[in-house]
Structure 1
Amino acid sequence: MALKKDFKLLFKPYYYVNIFLSFSYLVAKKLPFLCTYLHPQSDTQCELDSRESEILFFLMIVVMIRTRKAGSVTMISYLSSSFMYTKVANIILWFYADVRYGLIFGVIFVLVGLLLPEPTYSGPENIIYFRTSGGLDEELQRDKRVTWLVTFYTAWNPACANFAPVFAQLSAEYYLDNLKFGKIDVGRYPDAAKKHHISDSSLSRQLPTVIMFRDGKEVSRRPTADNKGKLQRFFFSEDNVKAAFDLNNLYNECKKNPIKKKKEIENGHHKIE
């Protein structure tokens, strides 16, 4: 089902236009009629030289490393994480071939970025966005019968951006009065990161961090550290999050034990003791 959904997204302009731009130089080199048209004065321009091969090989390594760090676990998130690097590499290659082509590609690059922003998740969600660390603490203590799943994130981190629609879908599927979902931007509120021992640096491997709170206290988090303090890599896919926090059993448990609200009115009259 996830793969089918990804293929549907590929028909959105943002994805197919960026895929075309990412492969534009290679396609122009490998299609004889197009290569001949772009380089009518040369018979050798239709083959990749050593410098071009080095740039493409380096690009492949960078994309693999960066998308892995970004936690890209689906085809769409992998593509989204790689587009910037592939387009920058294409700018370099087009400039290497001809300055005029490099300038044209650069203009197209900018226009696509302005006119075709990456599609964002627009489905249902049941998430409370905390504006301060104190607001989160107050909510955790307000009613300790509520189990909270809270994501600590930053707006600029690719892994957080990839996880956002996953967390939104989970919140829509599992939300109950006693099972709630929250988010707090530790880029804007670093005191929350400090309090919960989360590094918010640009090189941090703790973004995003999802923490489960029960009875107002932390009981589980991902990613977590081993006995030696080494951070364990965690891929934030929907299935992995469900398994890590046992969401199906937790949901059934919370549903069987709903929060019983105190009755202030009994038989149409205020209860007096």
Structure 2
Amino acid sequence: MIRNRLQWLNTMVTEPYYFFHFLLFFSYLPIRISSSSIFPPHISLRILRREIQAFLAFSILAFVKMVREETWEGFIADALLFGKAFLFLLALYVDYHLALWYMLAFLVLYIVTQQPAFPVLGAVNSMTPLQLESTLIEGNTSRFWLVEFRSLCSSTCVRLSRNFPELSITYTNKHLSFGLVDLGLFPNVAEKFAISLTGNVGLPTYILFENSSEIARFPGVDFVAKGFHPPITKEYLARHFDLDRLFLEYLNSK
């Protein structure tokens, strides 16, 4: 667990996505300090009040998101979004030229960087479509395979990338294994497993196989057709695929 946290902290420090975001946020400090000598004292005081209000509002929103979000990836994505919004509004209050500069910087950042997924796979087997097919057909490893089909081009997949590895650590046994197929690398496999890539509504998709036969999936076809589905959490996935029952069946068979 400590090793996973250290690896996650190292990702936070070294990933360009996080590094350049923090660089842009902290760039406001020297800009603001240098501009204080330009504005009259009453204008500087008024700006300081707006900055305090923005900081308090950001802190409240971040706290609410921290309580509601199940993964750190989701919380960080929301926190950075709120931070960019408040930074733009503050810059607009100071000078619209500064606001335009930040808007351009955030646009470039959105184009050239991408939020990284949770770097730890836990007990998940990263597989190619050929490896998945041969594993399911041969059936000489596990009776059940729960497979996540995701694409790191989808922000939803990135936000939820922590759930599946942590779920695998809890439930992996000799009868149940966990697999991962990256549809960003193998998009053609989506059609084979009837996964919709339109608007990323069907991502991530989880399919439970028993002896090469699909017995359950999430989201279902009805959810994809409606364009929404219930929030994906570890608890919801465990209930949907009845993982506790499968785990108890394995323990009773020993």
Same fold per superposition (TM over 0.5): yes
Cross-structure match for 2:158: 161
- Give matches, 1:148-227, under 5 Å: 148-201=145-198, 203-226=199-222
Contact 1:22/1:83 (8 A) holds in 2: no
Helix, strand or coil: the match of 2:161?
A: helix
> TM-score of the superposition, structure 1-length normalised?
0.61
Structure 1: distance between partners of 2:170 and 2:23: 35
Contact 2:145/2:177 (8 A) holds in 1: yes
Query: Deviation at 1:126?
Result: 1.3
Structure 1: distance between partners of 2:202 and 2:224: 16
Helix, strand or coil: the match of 2:153?
A: coil
Helix, strand or coil: the match of 1:125?
A: coil
Cross-structure match for 1:41: 40
Query: Deviation at 1:220?
Result: 0.8
Which consecutive residues of structure 1, in runs of 5 or more, have no partner in the other structure?
A: 259-273
Does 2:135 align with 1:136? no
Q: 1:233 to 1:23 in 2, by over 3 A?
A: farther
Structure 1: distance between partners of 2:27 and 2:237: 37
Q: Percent identity?
A: 22
Query: Deviation at 1:93?
Result: 4.2
Aligned residues: 221
Structure 2: distance between partners of 1:237 and 1:155: 18
The structure having more radius of gyration, on CA atoms, is: 1
Contact 2:152/2:184 (8 A) holds in 1: yes
More displaced stretch, 151-160 vs 136-145: 136-145
Higher helix share: 2
Structure 2: distance between partners of 1:146 and 1:169: 21
Deviations 1:205-261 (A, max 9, x none): 111111111121111111113499535513221111111111111112133336xxx
Helix, strand or coil: the match of 1:221?
A: strand
Which consecutive residues of structure 2, in runs of 5 or more, have no partner in the other structure?
A: none
Structure 2: distance between partners of 1:103 and 1:228: 39
> TM-score of the superposition, structure 2-length normalised?
0.65
More displaced stretch, 241-250 vs 99-108: 99-108
More displaced stretch, 182-191 vs 157-166: 157-166
Does 2:250 align with 1:254? yes
Query: Deviation at 1:120?
Result: 3.9
Contact 2:73/2:159 (8 A) holds in 1: yes
Cross-structure match for 1:241: 237
Contact 1:159/1:207 (8 A) holds in 2: yes
